[in-house]
């Protein structure tokens, strides 16, 4: 794998440091995903950004279906190519993988050190989608769509990429505090039961995967964000957002850099004895529920 794998046009990001190794980040064009990509780049990692968005509105009803599986297969192939490359082959930078499009090469930005096939890989699965409905109002279509977009896509990323990860690698999944406790009830606007069930499933999948991959020297952890200003909360009015935020002990929403920092810690050499854990980045939200 030379330069950086690129499936969709993106800008570069400043890099510094010399952590080395590759990183794969899904949901790379989202608010949190962008922050994670840039943080890992600054630490000197070669980053492959993966976007699991549908190519057209006509495809929007099948997230997590064949196109997502194919995208993860192509990412796994890129990692396998890296594993078979000569030591020192490739430089850190940024690429982006988007479902159903063809890769092209790009000169990697930044000057951090080269990666080798033996370097640990950080796999961060941050793609997801939300919705608004109650248990009784949720449709079967919404249930299937959000389970696929959140839980199935996470499983597919692990299924296809884990075999290509060398020992010492780390996987970080993205859950949610709403996978542990529901948001404040009526009259507050609900969060889809499918979204909450999917996020709870991601935590269970994380623990199971951590147990299965531990003999291979691969750590697996879950990060559960609290309330952040992302695309999932764009439909909330200021009053609704404040009501949703009210349980947070710190009294403010999180900043994307705070999630990125937590991810950087979990995939770093400072967290080599942590696996199967869920790290809540929620400003003390769950303390008051």
- pLDDT of the residue at 84: 74
Whole-number pLDDT of residue 112: 42
User: Looking at residue 7, what is its pLDDT?
Assistant: 36
In the chain (289 residues long), the average pLDDT of successive 10-residue segments reads 33 39 92 95 92 49 62 92 60 46 33 58 92 89 94 96 96 95 74 92 98 98 92 82 87 94 96 97 87
**pLDDT for res 85:** 66
- Output the six-digit token pair for 82: 């890296």
Q: CA nearest 32: which of 276, 262, 257, 277?
A: 257
The pLDDT assigned to 65 comes to 52
Handedness of CA 279, 284, 287, 289 (dihedral sign): negative
Instruction: Measure Cα distances from 216 to 121, 167, 212 in Å.
Output: 13, 6, 8
Q: Measuring CA to CA, which residue among 33, 52, 43, 42 is closest to residue 12?
A: 42
- Any idea which residues carry the catalytic annotation? 195
Residue 2's pLDDT is 30
- Helix and strand numbers (H, E) in the chain are 7, 9
Distance CA 175, CA 251 (A): 21
Residues 6 or more apart in contact with residue 62 via CB below 8 angstroms: 54, 148
């Amino acid at each position: 794998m030379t330069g950086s794998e690129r499936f969709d046009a993106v800008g570069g990001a400043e890099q510094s440091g010399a952590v080395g190794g590759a990183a794969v980040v899904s949901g790379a064009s989202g608010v949190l995903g962008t922050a994670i990509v840039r943080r890992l780049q600054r630490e000197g990692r070669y980053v492959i950004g993966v976007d699991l968005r549908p190519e057209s509105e006509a495809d929007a009803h099948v997230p997590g279906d064949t196109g997502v599986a194919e995208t993860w297969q192509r990412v796994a192939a890129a990692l396998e190519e890296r594993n078979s490359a000569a030591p020192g082959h490739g430089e850190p930078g940024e690429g982006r993988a988007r479902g159903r499009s063809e890769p092209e090469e790009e000169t990697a930005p930044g000057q951090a050190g080269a990666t080798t096939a033996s370097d640990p890989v950080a796999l961060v699965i941050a793609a997801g989608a939300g919705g608004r409905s109650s248990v009784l109002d949720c449709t079967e279509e919404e249930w299937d769509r959000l389970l696929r977009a959140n839980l199935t896509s996470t499983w597919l990323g692990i299924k296809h990429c884990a075999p290509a990860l060398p020992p010492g690698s780390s996987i970080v999944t993205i859950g949610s505090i709403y996978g542990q406790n529901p948001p404040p009830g009526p009259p507050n606007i609900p969060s889809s039961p499918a979204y909450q069930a999917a996020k709870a499933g991601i935590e269970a999948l994380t623990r199971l995967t951590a147990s299965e991959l531990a003999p291979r020297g691969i750590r697996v952890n879950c990060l559960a964000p609290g309330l952040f200003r992302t695309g999932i909360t764009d439909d909330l009015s200021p009053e609704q957002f404040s009501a949703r935020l009210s349980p947070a002990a710190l009294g403010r929403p999180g900043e994307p850099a705070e999630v990125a920092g937590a991810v950087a810690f979990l995939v770093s050499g400072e967290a080599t004895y942590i696996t199967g854990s869920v790290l809540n980045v929620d400003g003390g939200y769950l303390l008051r529920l």
